[in-house]
Structure 1
Amino acid sequence: MNLSPLLIATIVVAVLVVLVAFWAIRTFNVLIRQRNQVRASWAQIDVQLKRRHDLVPNLVETVKGYAGHERATLDAVVAARAGAMAAGADPSVEHRAAAEGVLTQTLGRLFALAEAYPDLKANQNFLALQNELANTEDKIAYARQFYNTAVQSLDNTAHSFPSLVVAGVTGIRPPAYFQASGAEQAPVQVRF
């Protein structure tokens, strides 16, 4: 069997085309899985932030009974919660992180009020809400870390050669990392 050089070249080109197509499809599927992981991890952040937003009104109402004349702090917490909830509709990670940073800061001021009100520090509802909020803050921190890890994985794949070619052609871009705003970077000082 004598194959002509043209037939051999055609077979080689066809095999190369099939291999490149297989690689492109595989790379695209990896990028899609990583993008979906980023979306799922963002959804977990969203769940924890909503949980936090649901706890805040109960906490404010508990504090109102003991520190009703601390209206400015209570109003600031309510306004920060409203801002954070409004930012929930914004797809921008940076805007959402900033709004949540403001809420974190005002919650710190709210907990600092407890220093001036010993009865509030002993109130079981307040303590339960404080513990629940601390638990939620831990879950938010973990969800943020998981989200940033998923973004990093997608970012590494989307910017590595040769997969960056497939990412560029398909328009897959990693979103921004969820970074703490200036208000969140300093630890909140709460002393009981």
Structure 2
Amino acid sequence: MYTLIFFGIVAIVLIYGISLYNNLVSVKNAVAKAWANIDVLLKQRHDELPKLVEVCKQYKQFEQSTLQKVIEARSQVQSAGNRQDIDALGQAEGMLRAGLGRIFALAEAYPELKANESFMQLQSRISNLENGIADRREFYNDAVSINNVHIEIFPANILAKMFGFDEKTLLVFSAEEKMDVNLQQLFN
């Protein structure tokens, strides 16, 4: 009788442990899926930016330093994304967003550029990608939060340590990087 009770308890603990492990795997994969969704949009934007820069270059008066900053930021975003370095990605994203804001703001000063159909299509496409990235970033951060909570709560934290489930980093931008572009400063 005691043997049956012992094996019953062992079976319950084992089933509970398997359930916890499977839950940890599930939240880890949710983080990976959320990151993949961001990565897809980053790659799409990465492919669109050279087209936007090329259209802008066709206007000789257009500010070359602005274009150079966007090109450099684009490279940093891609590099950080490939390394999955969330902190570096947050910084590079801020630089890229500021550069894009500057391009779009400066386009107001160049009526020919602003009226260019290719520029307008690219501007719209990139703006839509920016909105998509913001949405996916929120989804990624939700998945990371769920992952981090699951690996910290007892008794899942024991299994998390045993099987190497680790805490993930939230993708955040500094307050300065989230501010709107100061148009007055751009034209001074």
Q: Same fold (TM over 0.5)?
A: yes
Q: Of 10, 16, 21, which residue of structure 1 is paired with 2:9?
A: 16
**Distance in 1, Cα, partners of 2:6 & 2:52:** 69
2:81 maps to 1:88: yes
**Where does residue 119 of structure 1 map in the other structure?**
112
CA deviation digits over 1:104-147, x for unaligned, max 9? 11111111211211111111111111100110011101110111
Whether 1:79 aligns to 2:72 is: yes
Is residue 185 of structure 1 aligned with residue 178 of structure 2?
A: yes
**CA displacement 1:81-110 (0-9 Å, x = unmatched):** 122222222222111221122111111111
Identity of aligned residues (%): 39
The answer to whether 1:70 aligns with 2:63 is yes
RMSD of aligned residue pairs (Cα, Å): 1.8
CA contact (8 A) 2:34 2:139 kept: yes
**Residue type of the partner of 1:25?**
I
Q: Which has the larger radius of gyration?
A: 1
The AA in structure 2 aligned to 1:78 is I
1:107 aligns with 100
Shift of 1:67: 4.4
1:16 alignment partner AA: I
Which range moves more in the overlay, 113-122 or 40-49? Answer: 113-122
Separation in structure 2 between the aligned mates of residue 182 and residue 57 of structure 1, nearest angstrom: 27
Unmatched tracts of structure 2, length 5 or more: none
Q: Distance in 1 between matches of 2:177 and 2:33?
A: 24
Seen in structure 2, the aligned counterparts of structure 1 residues 140 and 69 have a Cα distance that, compared at 3 Å, is closer
Kindly report structure 1 stretches of 4+ aligned residues shifted beyond 3 Å: 188-191
- State the Cα deviation string for residues 19-53 of structure 1 (Å, max 9, x = none): 11110111100110111111011001000011111
Which shifted more, 37-46 or 177-186? 177-186
**1:179–1:89: structure 2 CA closer, same or farther, 3 Å change rule?**
same
Q: Which amino acid aligns with 2:164?
A: G
